[in-house]
C-alpha cells in the first residue's frame, strides 16, 4: 500500500494527522523525504515537478532569508517583516499550485534561532488566523532551532511553541546538538566539535517533555552534521548514534517501535550509505539546500556559456547578422534550464532516500 491511500487529502498541502501518517510511513518503510529549501516560484516548480514524476510526497521549506527573497530583495526586513510577508505569500502560492501536481506536500519553515522568533511568531499568527477560517494551519509545520541555547531553555521554549502548534494541529521540528557550518545566516563554523554530537539522555529529556503535549514533533539531532559542502574526511558523521538514541528511548518508554522521528541536517556531500544508515535509524526528513542551489545555478550557467553568441545582442548571431535573439534571451528559456537542472538533483535525492514510487 502506498502512502497516498492513507491520507485524507491526497494532493496539495497536507496538515495534522496526514503529516504524521506520511512521516510514520517513511519511518516504517525506511525511506526519507527530501526537504528542499526554495526561494522563488521557479525553484518551487522544480521541486514539485521532480516529486510528481518520482511519485513521491515532498517537503518544501523556507529559511527566513529565503522567505525574504520571495517577498523581494528590495523590501526592508526590519523586525523580520519581509521574512513574515514572504513566508505567508509563498505558503498561499504553494497551496494554490501544489494540487495541480497530484502529490502530497508538507509545507515547512527551516531554522528559526532565538533571535528569529519574531519571524516564527508572525507565521504562527497567520496560521491561527487561517485556522479560524479553514480549521487547519496555513503551514504544515515549522522548525524552532534553539540548539545554541542551554538545553533546559531549549526544551522549555520549544515546549511552549509545541503547545501553540498543537492547538492548531501543526507539526513542530526542533534541534538539539549544533549543526556546524553556515547556511542563510545560521553560522556555526567555529563551534566545538563535541557539540555536533547529541547525547541519548538529551533525546529522552526532549521526548519526556514534548510527547505529553503532542505526538506531532521531530528532532534534528546532531551526529556530526555540517551545513554546506566539504572535502571528504573533514566531517565525521556518526549516524549509528541515532540508532543508539532510538534504543535508549525505546527502552525507557517500553515502545514497540522506533519512538523518534529524526531529521538529517547538513547532508550536502554525504555518501548514499551515510544517508541510508541514518534513514535506517529513523531519519524521515533530509534537508537539502547547497546541492540544489548549485544545480539550479549550473543549468543557467551552462545555458549562458553555450548560447553566449545568441544572447549578447538583441539582433545578430552566428546564424546571421539580422537574426533576432529574443527566443534565446527570453527569461522563460534560461530560467527553465535552471529548473530542469534542479529537477534532476531533487529526483536523484528521491532515489537515494528510497522515496521514488512511495505514493
Q: Which parts of 72-205 are beta strand (E)?
A: 104-109, 141-144, 171-176, 181-183, 186-188
Closest CA to 220 of 183, 152, 266, 271: 266
Alpha-carbon span 247 to 250, nearest angstrom: 5
**b/e per residue, 130-160, with b = 16+ CB within 10 A?**
bbeeeebbbbbbbbbbbbeeebeebbebbbe
Give how far the C-alpha of residue 164 lies from the chain's centroid of Cα atoms, to the nearest Å: 21
What nine digits make up the cell of 153?
Answer: 531553555
110 catalytic, yes or no?
A: yes
Give how far the C-alpha of residue 358 lies from the chain's centroid of Cα atoms, to the nearest Å: 18
- The 8 Å CB, 24+ separation contacts for 302-310 are 302/337, 302/341, 303/333, 303/334, 303/337, 304/334
8-state DSSP, 180: B
Length of the chain: 359
Alpha-carbon span 350 to 331, nearest angstrom: 28
Q: Which residue has the cell 528511548?
A: 249
Q: What is the DSSP string of 208-229?
A: HHHTTT-S-EEEEE-BS-BSS-
Q: Are 108 and 173 in contact (CB under 8 A)?
A: yes
Active-site residue, from 24, 110, 277, 289:
110
What nine digits make up the cell of 119?
Answer: 519571524
Alpha-carbon span 221 to 224, nearest angstrom: 9
Alpha-carbon span 2 to 223, nearest angstrom: 31
Distances 299 to 109, 217, 293, 333, 348 between C-alpha atoms, Å = 26, 36, 10, 11, 16
Q: What amino acid positions are annotated as catalytic residues?
A: 110
Amino acid at each position: 500500500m502506498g502512502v497516498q491511500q492513507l491520507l485524507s487529502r491526497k494532493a496539495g498541502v497536507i496538515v495534522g494527522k496526514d503529516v504524521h501518517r506520511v512521516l510514520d510511513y517513511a519511518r516504517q518503510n525506511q525511506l526519507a523525504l527530501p526537504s528542499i529549501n526554495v526561494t522563488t516560484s521557479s525553484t518551487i516548480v522544480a521541486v514539485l515537478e521532480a516529486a510528481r514524476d518520482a511519485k513521491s510526497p515532498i517537503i518544501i521549506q523556507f529559511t527566513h532569508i529565503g522567505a525574504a527573497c520571495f517577498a523581494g530583495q528590495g523590501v526592508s526586513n526590519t523586525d523580520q517583516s519581509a521574512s513574515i510577508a514572504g513566508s505567508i505569500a509563498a505558503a498561499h502560492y504553494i497551496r494554490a499550485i501544489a494540487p495541480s501536481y497530484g502529490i502530497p506536500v508538507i509545507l515547512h519553515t527551516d531554522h528559526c534561532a532565538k533571535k528569529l522568533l519574531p519571524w516564527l511568531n508572525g507565521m504562527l499568527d497567520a496560521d491561527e488566523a487561517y485556522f479560524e477560517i479553514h480549521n487547519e494551519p496555513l503551514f504544515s509545520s515549522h522548525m524552532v532551532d534553539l540548539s545554541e541555547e542551554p538545553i533546559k531553555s531549549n526544551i522549555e521554549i520549544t515546549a511552549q511553541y509545541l503547545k501553540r502548534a498543537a492547538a492548531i494541529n501543526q507539526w513542530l521540528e526542533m534541534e538539539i546538538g549544533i549543526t556546524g557550518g553556515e547556511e542563510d545566516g545560521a553560522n556555526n563554523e567555529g563551534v566545538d566539535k563535541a557539540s555536533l554530537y547529541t547525547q541519548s539522555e538529551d533525546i529522552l529529556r526532549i521526548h519526556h517533555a514534548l510527547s505529553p503535549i503532542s505526538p506531532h514533533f521531530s528532532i534534528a539531532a546532531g551526529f556530526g552534521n555540517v551545513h554546506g559542502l566539504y572535502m571528504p574526511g573533514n566531517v565525521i558523521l556518526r549516524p549509528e548514534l541515532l540508532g543508539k538514541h532510538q534504543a535508549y528511548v525505546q527502552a525507557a518508554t517500553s515502545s514497540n517501535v522506533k519512538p523518534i522521528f529524526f531529521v538529517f541536517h547538513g547532508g550536502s556531500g554525504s555518501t548514499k550509505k551515510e544517508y541510508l544508515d541514518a534513514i535506517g535509524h529513523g531519519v524521515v526528513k533530509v534537508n537539502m539546500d547547497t546541492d540544489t542551489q548549485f544545480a539550479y545555478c549550473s543549468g543557467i550557467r551552462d545555458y549562458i556559456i553555450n548560447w553566449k553568441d545568441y544572447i549578447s545582442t538583441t539582433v545578430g548571431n552566428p546564424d546571421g547578422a539580422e537574426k533576432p535573439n529574443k527566443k534565446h534571451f527570453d527569461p522563460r528559456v534560461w530560467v527553465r534550464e535552471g529548473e530542469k537542472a534542479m529537477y534532476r538533483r531533487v529526483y536523484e535525492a528521491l532515489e537515494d532516500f528510497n522515496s521514488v514510487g512511495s505514493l
